[in-house]
Structure 1
Amino acid sequence: MNAPMMMTDRQLHDALLTIDSHIDIPWPPGPSPFEDGPRRVDLPKMRRGGIGAGCFAAYIPQGKRDEDGFQSAYARALAMLRAIRDMGEAGDNARGLAGRLATTVAEIEAARLDGAPAIIPAVENGHAMGLDLGRLDEFRSLGARYMTLTHNGHNALADSAVPRKDLGDAETLHGGLSDLGRAAISRMNRLGMMVDVSHVSKAAMLQAVEVSDTPLIATHSCMRMLCDHPRNLDDEQLDRLAESGGVVQVTLVSFFLKLGRKESEVTLSDFVDHIDYAVQRMGIAHVGIGSDFDGGGGVVGWRDAGESANVTAELLRRGYDRTAIAALWGGNFLRLLRLAEEAQA
């Protein structure tokens, strides 16, 4: 009797439900997501790289905290969320170029079974809601499954890890979360939206752990002990995130992986070093992958979604087994998303 054939690295990769928890889209609208073009992530690259699902973020740059700034951010968020929905509702099904809008765990899993890349909408920067909590309901109605509380620069919800001097930011504005930020987290809990603490200050992140009824997620962050950048999470933050059941999704931005380095100077191995550190510090159940492609992500060996199988090969080389790789590539993310759904009012 012949021994069973061993899976190749690529066969294992293709057998997994792989989820990239943070991808940007060009804005104003640029190259089509349905064609294999200059974007780091488009639907053909997702298929070629075996990416089963991607969280596409409506990224809102921080602007002035006044009525004009709030209204501009809100309008942009709505337009971007509609463009993200179109990635899952348009396209050429006959040629296999369409994605599938998926806003629940069940829909993500169904898309995987049908071989369609799942499109999961998100919002990056709570500046998008201004001072109006009701706008969170609108974002959720357009499919958003998480919102990143800040970007670079303080907003009305929380302090950022990177204050914007050009916007007049002092080191801190709220001492962490504002009262509005606390209310926004509670509203997100009731809406089934995950709370993303990438970009927020340490004080805001630690306060959010206490405020949120569901575990937090950092959808695109790296380890401060390996790279001393203020955007990265230190050991105290990693410990609190793990203790509360949360997850850090390690990101691919070169200067968060190695301080001051360009994409051409950082490798896939450097990226997986950060995964190793997080796993050793927090445990395998609290770590995942979020590339930040088309928002600055990219290193030698993983320059776009089409090269995603290289990550699985490197994890295998380092001794991770199938169960661990499945957890890193999507299982841990889905656990948090399921908890958010169960907490929805």
Structure 2
Amino acid sequence: MKKGYFHRVVTQTPTRFWINNVTRKEADLSLAAGAVGCTQNPSYVYKMLTNDEEKDYAFERLDKILQSVEDIDLVQETVQRDLVAAVAQKFLPLWEKSNGKYGYVSIQGNPFKEDVENILRNARFNREAGLNIMAKVPVTEDGLKAIEILLSEGIPVNATEVMGVRQALDVCDIYDRVAAGGRTMPSVYFSHITGIFDEYLQNHVSENSIQISPDTLWQAGMIVARKIRRLLDERGSEVGFIGGGARGLHHFTEMVGADCCVTINWKGTAEELIELDPPVVDRYHALVPEGVLDELLDRIGEFGRAWRITGLKPSEYEEYGPVVLFRESFEKAWSEASRIIEQRSRDR
């Protein structure tokens, strides 16, 4: 009997399938399809409160929390932890069976409170929800400081909102610095948000009337991803690579063959790949013509900032265009969930 697409990817390549922002049912489907990890982001509470299958369950959890918590942000943080904990329980057997190699579920907190103190508070709070809970922290100047502290405390980390090469290398430098102290290191990944990076560049090209081949532009995010993976291999880094923010099937299929994980949504991406059942082909090692990279560097300055090792500084990460685009989507969803929670609190 022929194996499903993701099972074949795992068998034939080092690439692994993670799932993003799932409902409980989607978590079950994803695990059956071969998922080995899960990412949840700040839009999760809004998704669950408005999902036809899950909203009754989500409001039940919300109502219980409103009985003892008044602060709206803390209510949402607690609901988020509660809802994600249920998904983490589904991945826990995989975490236990693999001795902590697989089965992590990462949580990223309030996108309006991303200073060091609040990142640490939220990460420690979420870790209470399960052994396989991983703190998801944006790679900004404050985020990097928080990541170093969390690693020194033994807390697993998914360093997210990585758009540029320098951000990924900064995470690796922190890992090496903490590991040099001789401590046993927790699992650490960074998430290169390839799809959002591509979306931002497409918008940037359109808004600024930049003349560039659509075929060249289509490859931008994957070119940065390949460079990051190559640099990690050259330094022998123990930090794991997650590709995220998929905006098309190619954000998974073009990474097949790489030693990495790729996290994708169930609806519109994972389920479609299962239905299409394409051949498992190593696309990661396909050569990129020099002319493609030259055109990107020549035409799009924002691409160069991500691709060059010295293109960005930590003080610039938070306001780098693709990072802002990603964060704004979280801020919108967090605000919408807060509005629903406030109304629910008034109606009690």
TM-score range, shorter chain: 0.3 to 0.5
Q: Normalised by the size of structure 2, how large is the TM-score?
A: 0.45
Q: Highest relative contact order (Cα 8 Å, sep 6+), 1 or 2?
A: 2
Give the structure with higher Rg (CA). 2
Q: Normalised by the size of structure 1, how large is the TM-score?
A: 0.45
